[in-house]
Chain A
Amino acid sequence: AQSVTQLGSHVSVSEGALVLLRCNYSSSVPPYLFWYVQYPNQGLQLLLKYTTGATLVKGINGFEAEFKKSETSFHLTKPSAHMSDAAEYFCAVAMEYGNKLVFGAGTILRVKS
């Protein structure tokens, strides 16, 4: 069965610093990969996704992620953190059909002023 590991349940960065949220998946077949963000008392919003093609994917709010097949990773980055980035971030994978998203446990990002 698919699994997703997000390293670090809490990450704290200073405003303006690099954001790096880690995601590794278990699959022998490259899956489809997603990053979602959840603000307090809200649903999940898609940040970006990888399906095929270019392995560096750009998303909303200045975030990007790189699919590395050899490392089975899909880490999320943002060059400069903003206070409004404070939220919980979820990495998820899906296989070819059935659209069963398997989520990681989530990483809460705190941005310090």
Chain B
Amino acid sequence: ETGVTQTPRHLVMGMTNKKSLKCEQHLGHNAMYWYKQSAKKPLELMFVYSLEERVENNSVPSRFSPECPNSSHLFLHLHTLQPEDSALYLCASSLGLAGADTQYFGPGTRLTVL
């Protein structure tokens, strides 16, 4: 595997379920990100991790819980979601947090909340 991978690619869950999204980067990067992409809205940054420490939580509801056990893996734990949380969730990684550092994106997880 190369680049940034995400699993699962598609997920359907009920509002009472608990599920997790997984992201893995094979680029040797130190920073990882979660974004939410909803229809007709700009991409929204959710969380930023640098060297496994969370450095940004962009006013995300507590029903989304990120976890970064090491610099290669990032999880997004989901519980008691709402239908408006249905979206494409994108993971990205970059070498560091410098503004010039390119973010490389995974293919995303298409989440549908029933």
Q: Does A78 touch B at the CB level, under 8 Å?
A: no
**Alpha-carbon separation in the docked complex, A46 to B3 (Å):** 13
Question: Which A residues lie within 8 Å of B92 (CB)?
Answer: 44
Q: Does B105 touch A at the CB level, under 8 Å?
A: yes
A98 adjacent to B97 (CB under 8 Å): yes
B99 adjacent to A31 (CB under 8 Å): yes
Which of these, B40, B103, B108, contacts A42 with CB under 8 Å?
Answer: B108
Residue with the highest number of chain A CB atoms closer than 10 Å, among B48, B102, B108: B102
B100 adjacent to A32 (CB under 8 Å): yes
Q: Does B94 touch A at the CB level, under 8 Å?
A: yes
Which of these, A45, A52, A99, A100, contacts B105 with CB under 8 Å?
Answer: A45
* Closest B residue, CB atoms, query A43: B105
Question: Which A residues lie within 8 Å of B4 (CB)?
Answer: 43
Question: Which B residues lie within 8 Å of A90 (CB)?
Answer: 43
Question: Which A residues lie within 8 Å of B100 (CB)?
Answer: 32, 49, 51-52, 94
- A103 touching B108 in the complex, CB below 8 Å, given contacts A34-B102, A43-B4, A97-B99: no
**Alpha-carbon separation in the docked complex, A106 to B43 (Å):** 9
**Chain A contacts with B in 62-113, Cβ cutoff 8 A:** 90, 94-101, 103-106
**Chain A contacts with B in 36-64, Cβ cutoff 8 A:** 36, 41-46, 49, 51-52
Interface size class of A (residues with CB under 8 A): 20 to 34
B43 adjacent to A97 (CB under 8 Å): no
Q: Does B60 touch A at the CB level, under 8 Å?
A: no
* Closest B residue, CB atoms, query A99: B97
A99 adjacent to B103 (CB under 8 Å): yes
Question: Which B residues lie within 8 Å of A94 (CB)?
Answer: 99-100
Binding site for A on B (CB under 8 A): 4, 6, 31, 40-43, 45, 48, 55-56, 90, 92, 94, 96-108, 110
10 more CB-based (< 8 A) A-B contacts, given A36-B105, A101-B43, A103-B42: A32-B99, A43-B106, A43-B107, A44-B105, A49-B100, A98-B56, A99-B31, A99-B98, A104-B42, A105-B41
A-B pairs with beta carbons under 8 Å apart, 10 shown: A43-B106, A43-B107, A45-B105, A46-B104, A49-B102, A51-B100, A95-B99, A96-B98, A99-B96, A105-B41
